Amino acid sequence: DAKTTQPTSMDCAEGRAANLPCNHSTISGNEYVYWYRQIHSQGPQYIIHGLKNNETNEMASLIITEDRKSSTLILPHATLRDTAVYYCIVRVYNQGGKLIFGQGTELSVKP
């Protein structure tokens, strides 16, 4: 899988947008970018994923740069319940199911 680089930690004020960056400079054309989060010690939760175009769902937006070497996850109005570790993952086509998690970004939403 293409390697991803994320900041170790970030803070965000409650009610403001949280913008979480991810660098995946070695990404190939058929590799999807995935975002998951893990709240406390729970199982990770799927947030969003995309290939080339920007994506939006009820949880977040995903902005992928035109060269696909980086992306940003946007939580439009962060709440205290969004405090979690956020993982950016690049998934390789024809690699037989391996989804490799990195260290992630620990997001703290503060009142």
Nearest approach, Cβ of residue 96 and other proteins (Å):
6
Q: How far is CA 72 from CA 26, 40, 52, 98, in A?
A: 16, 22, 13, 23
> Can you spell out the DSSP letters for 25-43?
TT--TTPEEEEEEE-TTSP
Q: Could you say whether residue 101 binds other proteins (CB under 8 A)?
A: yes
Query: Residue 110 Cβ, how far from other proteins at the closest point, in Å?
Result: 21
CB-CB contact of 38 with 44 (8 Å): yes
30 touches other proteins by CB under 8 A: yes
Give residues 39-98 in contact with other proteins (rule: CB under 8 A).
Answer: 41-46, 49, 51, 85, 87, 91-98
Nearer of residues 29 and 111 to other proteins, judged by Cβ: 29
Q: Is 2 in the site for other proteins (CB under 8 A)?
A: no
Identity of the amino acid at 36 = Y
- Comparing CB distances to other proteins, the nearer of 41 and 53 is 41
Query: Of these, 21, 32, 61, 72, which contacts other proteins (CB under 8 A)?
Result: 32
- As a residue count, the chain comes to 111
Which DSSP state fits 5? Answer: B
